[in-house]
Each structure stands twice: as C-alpha cells, then as structure tokens.
Amino acid sequence: MKKTTILLTVLLFIGQNLPAQKSLTKDERMEWWREARFGMFIHWGVYSLPAGTWDGRQIGGIGEWIMNRGKIPVADYQRMAKDFNPVKYDPDAWVKMAKDAGMKYIVITSKHHDGFALFESKASKWNVVDATAYGKDLLKPLTEACKKYGIKLGFYYSQAQDWNNPGGSAARKITKEGWANPDSVIIDAYTKEHMGHWDPAQEKKTFAQYINDVAVPQVKELLTNYGDLAVLWWDTPTNMTDDAATKLQSLLALQPAIITNDRLKRPNFPGDHKTPEQRIPNLKDLDGTDWETCMTMNGTWGYKSYDHNYKSPETLIHNLLDIASKGGNFLLNVGPTSLGEFPQESIDILAKMGQWMKVNGEAVYGTKASPWGLFPWGRCTVKETKSGTSVYFSVFEWPADGKLVIPEMTNKVVSAKLIATGATLKSSASKDGSLTISLPSKAPDAIASVIKVDVKGKVTTKPTI
Ligand code: FHN
C-alpha cells in the first residue's frame, strides 16, 4: 500500500473512533481569535545558545538563522546543541507574563528551520529529549501552564525548511550575508547547485521522504499529544509540493477547532488568516480576510545576545491600536535565552504594555475596525452593544485646545468618558455633522488615552484617511 493511502486510512480510522463532533464553521473557529487581538510569539530553540555568535564571529541576520547564515555543518551544529540546558525554564512565569501583558494566546516554535524539535519525537532524534543535556519535553509543561492561566496555545512548525533532518529544504542565502568567509565563492557555487543546502548530510533523503518520515509524523505528534491546540502556524513554504501540503493539511482533522495561517503552501492553501510580517498593512490592502501582524520587539526572532535595539512600549502600544483599528491581530515576539529566560528588555516591555492594557484593554478586545479609518491624532475601534455602539478613541496626541473633533459623527451620544479616570466628558454636535468632545487640559496617559463614547445605533461613516 502507498504511504498516502495508509495515512488516509489511519485518519479515517481515527475519525470513526472519535465521539461524533459537530463540525465547526470558520466563524465559530475564529471567534476567540477575533476577540483576542493580542498574542505572544515565542521563537526558542538551540540557536539561542550561540545567540548570534559562531566561532567568535558575529553572524549577520536574525538569530534563528545562524546555521544557514553561518553555513554551519550539520555535525557541528548538532554537537553544539548537546549543551542546550535551559535549567531556568519556568513556563508558569512565561505564561503569566503573557497574561499580565494582556495577551490571550501564545504561539511557540515547536520546530524552526533548523529542524530541532522542542518536543519528544519518535520521528527524529533531533529533538530536545534525545539531543540535549536538558532531556525533557519543553512543550508539555507549557501546555499545562496555558491551561492554568486560560491562555490559548498554538504551535509554529517549519514544515518545509529543515536544515538538519535530511531531505528538508533550505532557502539559499549568500555567504557574505552571514560573514566574510574567504571560501564564499566555493560555498555559494555549492548552494546554487544544491538548492540552498551547504552540507551533503542535508541531502541524504528526498524532500518527499523528509515529509513522510519527519514532518507528517511530527505534526501528528503535535496534534495528538498536547491536548486542545488553538493554532498551527506554518512557515516558509520553500519548495513545498501540493502532495506534501495535502498530507499535512489532512492531519488538521485531528483538531477540528484549530486555526491555521496562510504559509503552508502558496497560493492554493490559504488557511484561515494572512500573516503580514514586521509590518502593519495599509487600509487599502485589506480585503476582509482575517490577518495577524507578527513582529519582533528588537531586530531578531530568536535570541541574539547583542541585539538591544528594542522598540519602545509606546511604539508597540501604538502598533497594537493601529492593528486593532484596522481589524487585525498583533502577535508580538519574545526570544528566550538558552537558559530559558525572557530577555530583561522584553520583560520590561511586556510589563508596560500590561499596565496600559489593564486600564484600557476594552478598547482592543473584541473590537472591530474603525469606520473612520485613521485619525491624525490617534486610532479608533468599535464594539456593537445591545443598545447601540461603543466607540473607543485612543488619543496619541492630546489636542492643545482641549477639543477632540470627530467628523461625520451623527449618532446620538449616550455618554462620553475617559477610561483612565472614569471622568464624564461633555460633547456637542455641530451642524456640519461633527462631534466635539471637550477634554481636560492634560492627557491621563502619555502613550494613549482612551475616550469611550456610547452612541445609539450603528456607526456608519466612511474612512477619512
Ligand atoms: O524565516 C522565518 C523567520 O525566522 C521567522 O520565524 C519568521 C516569523 O514570521 N518567519 C520566517 C520568515 O518569514
């Protein structure tokens, strides 16, 4: 029997032996995700040990790509991994930090492009239990902590690129982008001939064998051994085939409520949501499909000891509000160290965002995009209520004259309040259809102060910007 037939038979068998489950519509599956708006991405793997430096050289590019950028041989990279021993790993503390920051879900790299599995796997010895000093599954306790704090958990899985399990694909990177290796001409000629691979060990199997022997069984392990999973986050469909994508996608039947992104294979496996990376889309680029911006706090996803170029909490809170005002989600990354700790800068940023979210979170959770588009002074989100609409104006630049003017706001105002202080604000409608809200002279929050205006009916207006 062909392997595909065996797989389908197994899936059918599993299906027949599960208690009858009502199949969920996309809207039902997406409900919590659309409500959540804010999640944590975690990029963690053995690359956190070299942390951007190999053989005394700083390697260019993002930390989790060090093996490819540095053209590190498979045997050397795997030898390095033996010392991976995250003794300070405290999943309870991680999840609590996410929750306190106001995040509602976590997506962690169960396996990144270096193919290293953070979980126990029968499909490949290149996993945390068999290949490192630590020797314990890292995902199981995270699952428990997420359950404890009511945080949804998703797994990122690099389905195509795998630089250690033979047969996995490798995106070709020019050597000088990593470091000025004197052998770069020879290496670059080799990677050109070998579809991005730089070590013969990477080509001992075909891509189809890698999919059947590693990717399919590992995704099955992830979907069966860790309870209810919220998200499966595919990444970089380098050289993906329809056959491989079909096999992987069919496994999702094991988790009927799961949400997936658009990176399994393009363009014919669109998943549930789009994934703009390191950028927030412009309004004109949005087509009604769900979307989630993923972004780093500094310049790398995986930990790099010398990247301290962090965005300010102000920028990140404004980003979150910009994204919410356009109807998207924000997946903000943390790259823990090899000992299992979040970098101090990330801890501080999360705490600041949490302080803001604790007071103003209702302007984000469960909201819909601004009917006005963007304002020059801030952002807006709306929530339909039983009796009308709650409109949230997040003001970044407090008006010097104490007047916030909202154009084309003709709904009858029930109340206007400053969320931070609870103070009631006066508002007056003008003949031109605009609404003027009178504000205290000083902004209660230097980053963004939220004004909640409850109005009658639905707000129907056109984007101004
Ligand atoms: O190559 C990866 C990268 O390392 C990182 O995981 C990001 C996160 O979205 N995805 C890929 C690049 O698009």
**Does the CB atom of residue 81 touch ligand 1 within 6 A?**
no
Q: What local confidence, expressed as pLDDT, does residue 15 receive?
A: 45
Q: What are the structure tokens assigned to 146, written together?
A: 């997420």
Question: Residues 342, 94: contact at Cβ < 8 Å?
Answer: yes
Q: How many CB atoms lie within 10 A of CB 348?
A: 13
User: Could you give the CA distance from residue 94 to residue 341 in angstroms, rounded to a whole number?
Assistant: 8
| pLDDT tens, residue by residue, 330-348 | 999 999 999 999 999 999 9
171 Cβ closer than 6 Å to some ligand 1 atom: no
Cβ–ligand 1 distance for 66 under 6 Å, the answer no
- Pairing of β 413-418 and β 403-406: unpaired
What pLDDT, on the 0 to 100 scale, is given for residue 3? 52
Instruction: Determine the distance separating the centroid of ligand 1 and the alpha carbon of 31, expressed in angstroms.
Output: 26
**Residue ranges, the chain, pLDDT below 50:** 1, 4-5, 7-20
Q: Which helix (H) or strand (E) is 435 found in, with range?
A: strand 435-438
Pocket test for ligand 1, best of 65, 156, 235, 278 (most atoms within 8 A of CB): 235
Atom of ligand 1 nearest to the CA of 65: 4
Q: Given the CA of residue 112, which atom of ligand 1 is nearest to it?
A: 6
Q: Please tell me if the CB atom of residue 294 comes closer than 6 angstroms to any atom of ligand 1.
A: yes
CA-based torsion, 397, 402, 407, 413: positive or negative: positive
- Cβ–ligand 1 distance for 160 under 6 Å, the answer no
DSSP string, 340-374: S---HHHHHHHHHHHHHHHHHGGGTTT-B--TT--
Q: Is 145 in the pocket of ligand 1 (CB under 6 A)?
A: no
Place of tokens 């990177």: 173
CA dist., res. 274 & res. 384, Å (int): 25
